[in-house]
Protein backbone atom coordinates (compact mmCIF):
# COMPACT_ATOMS: atom_id res chain seq x y z
CA UNK A 1 0.00 0.00 0.00
CA UNK A 2 1.41 3.41 -0.91
CA UNK A 3 2.30 5.96 1.78
CA UNK A 4 -0.24 8.42 0.34
CA UNK A 5 -3.08 5.94 0.69
CA UNK A 6 -2.07 5.09 4.29
CA UNK A 7 -2.21 8.77 5.29
CA UNK A 8 -5.62 9.43 3.77
CA UNK A 9 -8.28 10.28 6.37
CA UNK A 10 -12.02 9.77 6.51
CA UNK A 11 -14.85 10.94 8.74
CA UNK A 12 -17.21 8.89 10.85
CA UNK A 13 -19.80 9.33 13.57
CA UNK A 14 -20.84 7.59 16.76
CA UNK A 15 -24.23 7.62 18.39
CA UNK A 16 -23.95 8.04 22.15
CA UNK A 17 -26.06 8.72 25.19
CA UNK A 18 -27.35 12.29 25.19
CA UNK A 19 -25.40 14.29 27.73
CA UNK A 20 -22.41 11.93 27.49
CA UNK A 21 -20.91 13.40 24.30
CA UNK A 22 -17.74 14.63 26.04
CA UNK A 23 -17.11 11.18 27.59
CA UNK A 24 -17.66 9.56 24.16
CA UNK A 25 -15.23 12.04 22.53
CA UNK A 26 -12.55 11.28 25.14
CA UNK A 27 -13.10 7.53 24.72
CA UNK A 28 -12.69 7.71 20.93
CA UNK A 29 -9.39 9.58 21.24
CA UNK A 30 -8.11 7.28 24.00
CA UNK A 31 -8.99 3.97 22.29
CA UNK A 32 -8.08 4.96 18.73
CA UNK A 33 -4.84 6.93 18.96
CA UNK A 34 -5.04 7.78 15.25
CA UNK A 35 -8.47 9.41 15.57
CA UNK A 36 -9.56 12.93 16.48
CA UNK A 37 -13.09 13.56 17.69
CA UNK A 38 -15.30 16.65 17.93
CA UNK A 39 -18.73 17.59 19.16
CA UNK A 40 -20.63 20.02 16.93
CA UNK A 41 -21.54 23.08 18.99
CA UNK A 42 -23.21 26.32 18.08
CA UNK A 43 -22.58 29.69 19.70
CA UNK A 44 -25.55 31.03 21.62
CA UNK A 45 -26.42 34.64 22.26
CA UNK A 46 -24.71 36.13 25.27
CA UNK A 47 -26.86 37.67 27.98
CA UNK A 48 -26.48 41.41 28.55
CA UNK A 49 -23.41 42.27 30.66
CA UNK A 50 -22.16 38.65 30.49
CA UNK A 51 -18.37 38.48 30.30
CA UNK A 52 -16.10 35.77 28.90
CA UNK A 53 -16.60 33.43 25.99
CA UNK A 54 -20.15 33.23 24.64
CA UNK A 55 -22.11 30.15 25.72
CA UNK A 56 -22.38 27.16 23.38
CA UNK A 57 -24.98 24.47 22.88
CA UNK A 58 -24.50 21.00 21.40
CA UNK A 59 -25.96 21.11 17.92
CA UNK A 60 -26.60 17.37 17.53
CA UNK A 61 -27.18 15.83 20.98
CA UNK A 62 -26.15 12.18 21.01
CA UNK A 63 -23.65 12.43 18.13
CA UNK A 64 -19.85 12.71 18.15
CA UNK A 65 -17.89 12.99 14.91
CA UNK A 66 -14.41 11.59 14.36
CA UNK A 67 -11.62 11.64 11.80
CA UNK A 68 -9.36 8.61 11.32
CA UNK A 69 -7.19 6.98 8.64
CA UNK A 70 -9.39 5.41 5.96
CA UNK A 71 -7.83 2.00 6.53
CA UNK A 72 -8.45 2.11 10.31
CA UNK A 73 -10.63 -0.58 11.82
CA UNK A 74 -12.79 1.18 14.37
CA UNK A 75 -13.69 -0.70 17.55
CA UNK A 76 -15.05 1.75 20.09
CA UNK A 77 -17.69 -0.12 22.09
CA UNK A 78 -16.36 -1.68 25.26
CA UNK A 79 -17.64 -2.66 28.66
CA UNK A 80 -15.48 0.13 30.14
CA UNK A 81 -17.38 2.82 28.23
CA UNK A 82 -21.12 3.03 28.48
CA UNK A 83 -21.40 6.35 26.63
CA UNK A 84 -21.17 5.02 23.08
CA UNK A 85 -24.20 3.16 21.78
CA UNK A 86 -22.95 2.43 18.26
CA UNK A 87 -20.79 3.53 15.37
CA UNK A 88 -22.97 4.73 12.52
CA UNK A 89 -22.34 2.51 9.52
CA UNK A 90 -23.64 1.97 6.02
CA UNK A 91 -25.66 -1.11 5.09
CA UNK A 92 -22.33 -2.79 4.27
CA UNK A 93 -20.93 -2.02 7.72
CA UNK A 94 -18.61 0.79 6.54
CA UNK A 95 -18.00 3.51 9.18
CA UNK A 96 -16.84 6.10 6.64
CA UNK A 97 -19.13 9.02 5.74
CA UNK A 98 -19.51 10.02 2.09
CA UNK A 99 -21.02 12.85 0.05
CA UNK A 100 -22.71 15.72 1.87
CA UNK A 101 -22.26 14.07 5.27
CA UNK A 102 -18.47 13.85 4.81
CA UNK A 103 -18.35 17.43 3.49
CA UNK A 104 -20.29 18.73 6.48
CA UNK A 105 -18.13 16.87 9.01
CA UNK A 106 -15.00 18.08 7.17
CA UNK A 107 -16.35 21.63 7.53
CA UNK A 108 -16.90 21.00 11.25
CA UNK A 109 -13.30 19.84 11.69
CA UNK A 110 -12.01 22.87 9.78
CA UNK A 111 -13.91 25.06 12.27
CA UNK A 112 -13.01 23.01 15.39
CA UNK A 113 -16.62 21.86 15.69
CA UNK A 114 -17.83 25.36 16.51
CA UNK A 115 -20.58 27.01 14.49
CA UNK A 116 -20.39 30.68 15.30
CA UNK A 117 -22.62 33.58 14.34
CA UNK A 118 -23.05 34.37 10.69
CA UNK A 119 -22.99 38.01 9.63
CA UNK A 120 -25.89 39.76 7.93
CA UNK A 121 -27.11 43.23 7.17
CA UNK A 122 -30.64 44.50 7.00
CA UNK A 123 -31.88 45.93 3.72
CA UNK A 124 -35.38 47.30 4.19
CA UNK A 125 -37.40 44.48 5.71
CA UNK A 126 -35.07 41.74 4.42
CA UNK A 127 -31.96 40.21 5.96
CA UNK A 128 -29.00 39.61 3.63
CA UNK A 129 -26.54 36.94 4.87
CA UNK A 130 -22.96 37.87 3.98
CA UNK A 131 -20.77 35.30 5.80
CA UNK A 132 -20.70 32.22 8.02
CA UNK A 133 -22.52 28.91 7.87
CA UNK A 134 -25.85 30.56 7.05
CA UNK A 135 -24.29 31.86 3.82
CA UNK A 136 -23.28 28.28 2.96
CA UNK A 137 -26.77 26.87 3.67
CA UNK A 138 -28.79 29.91 2.56
CA UNK A 139 -31.05 27.83 0.31
CA UNK A 140 -32.05 25.74 3.34
CA UNK A 141 -33.32 28.64 5.47
CA UNK A 142 -36.98 28.05 6.34
CA UNK A 143 -37.71 31.02 8.56
CA UNK A 144 -35.96 34.11 9.95
CA UNK A 145 -36.67 35.58 13.38
CA UNK A 146 -35.37 39.16 13.17
CA UNK A 147 -36.08 39.94 16.81
CA UNK A 148 -33.92 37.05 18.06
CA UNK A 149 -31.50 37.30 15.13
CA UNK A 150 -31.84 33.64 14.21
CA UNK A 151 -32.66 31.53 11.19
CA UNK A 152 -34.35 28.13 11.18
CA UNK A 153 -32.40 25.89 8.82
CA UNK A 154 -33.33 22.47 7.44
CA UNK A 155 -30.23 20.34 6.95
CA UNK A 156 -29.81 16.74 5.85
CA UNK A 157 -27.52 14.64 8.02
CA UNK A 158 -27.23 10.85 7.65
CA UNK A 159 -30.15 10.87 5.22
CA UNK A 160 -32.50 12.53 7.75
CA UNK A 161 -33.75 16.08 7.66
CA UNK A 162 -32.92 18.02 10.82
CA UNK A 163 -34.12 21.52 11.65
CA UNK A 164 -32.00 23.78 13.85
CA UNK A 165 -31.84 27.47 14.73
CA UNK A 166 -28.59 29.24 13.86
CA UNK A 167 -27.73 32.78 14.90
CA UNK A 168 -26.61 35.81 12.94
CA UNK A 169 -25.39 39.25 13.97
CA UNK A 170 -26.30 42.43 12.15
CA UNK A 171 -23.41 44.44 10.74
CA UNK A 172 -23.27 47.61 8.66
CA UNK A 173 -23.44 47.16 4.92
CA UNK A 174 -20.01 47.75 3.46
Phi (first) and psi of residue 9, to 5 degrees: -120, 155
* CATH number at 3-115: 3.30.70.940
- pLDDT classification of 3: cutoffs 50, 70, 90: very low
Domain ranges of the chain: 3-115, 118-170
Q: What element of type H or E holds 66? A: strand 63-69
**What is the C-alpha to C-alpha distance for residues 56 and 65, in angstroms, rounded to an integer?**
17
CB atoms within 10 A of CB 114: 14
Backbone φ, ψ for residue 152 (5° rounding): -85, 125
9-59 pLDDT, tens digit each: 899 999 999 999 999 999 888 888 788 999 999 887 666 666 667 788 898
Amino acid sequence: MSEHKENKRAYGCVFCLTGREEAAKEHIERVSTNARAIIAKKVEQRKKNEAGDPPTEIMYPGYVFFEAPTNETIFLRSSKNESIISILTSEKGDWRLYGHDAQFVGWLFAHDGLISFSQAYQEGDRIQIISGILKEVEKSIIRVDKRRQGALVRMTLFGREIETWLRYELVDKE
